[in-house]
Amino acid sequence: MNTLKISFTVLKKPTTYFFSGNSVISLKSLTPPSSVKPASISGGPRVYSTFAGAGVRTDFKVNSYSNMAEPDSDHKQGDVAVKDDRIARISSTIRVIPDFPKPGIMFQDITTMLLDPVAFKDSIDLFVERYKDKDISVVAGVEARGFIFGPPIALAIGAKFVPMRKPNKLPGAVISEEYSLEYGSDIMEMHVGAVEAGERTLVIDDLIATGGTLVAAINLLERVGANVVECACVIELPDLKGRDRLGDKPLFVLISST
């Protein structure tokens, strides 16, 4: 499927433009509450601001949007979703915390989005709309924030939810996969028998950075014979090239933060 990608910068007021061919067909501006003052944060090529106290972006240089693409054999990379003003609403509620959990990291905090029932529902709805007719039988959620998005998606599309956990968190027999981190390594575990050979599986997490966690989840699932249809995340940090580590596995994200 051909896609149209649009990159843009928005300052002072988050603004979303929607394009059809060469024409602008919709415009949505979000105005911050007048009761709070913006406090600017700068991080390399990114420009952010948070409301003092509220921590919601008002100035940002983020997102590349494209039309939604189907997860099939002709589309290996997946893409960023653009549907309507839901994307702008979701993005505007995600807080960016500088130097957390260590200096130099701009932490993408989705907990502020969870405080907004409309934005939270929008994020779930966008995933459900994509996967409801894809014959997905397993939604595998990566610890910990994949546990937030995975269960409601699984319930909505009629799939079972399988938690992918850190070591010694799951009772009973497990299958394990070790994976590399920037410094050292970690282990991911899944219950033996939770996923059967041939089951069509979606892997969900809140964010993809270097891609190591998603690769571990894919490896675990494929070791038991599952068919990993696609990986899905709310946020992608494309500068870290985690998408490249997924090989031929498609990746679908709502927001690409550059």
- Residues 124-171: tens digit of each pLDDT: 999 999 999 999 999 999 999 999 999 999 999 999 999 999 999 999
Map tokens 């994976």 to a residue: 179
| Domain coverage including residue 193 | 5-256
- Would you say the pTM of this structure is higher than 0.85? no
Per-residue pLDDT of the chain (258 residues; tens, 9 = 90+): 444 444 433 333 343 333 333 332 233 333 333 333 333 322 333 323 333 333 444 333 333 333 334 444 333 334 555 547 999 999 999 999 999 999 999 999 999 999 999 999 999 999 999 999 999 999 999 999 999 999 999 999 999 999 999 999 999 999 999 998 777 899 999 999 999 999 999 999 999 999 999 999 999 999 999 999 999 999 999 999 999 999 999 999 999 986
- What is the CATH classification number for the domain harbouring 60? 3.40.50.2020
> pLDDT at position 2, please?
45
DSSP symbols for 130-165: HHTTTT--EEEEETTTHHHHHHHHHHHHT-EEEEEB
- Which positions are catalytic? 145, 182
DSSP symbols for 8-64: --B-SS-EEEEEETTEEEEEEE-PPPTTS-EEEEEETTEEEEEETTT--EEEE---E
Domain count, the chain: 1
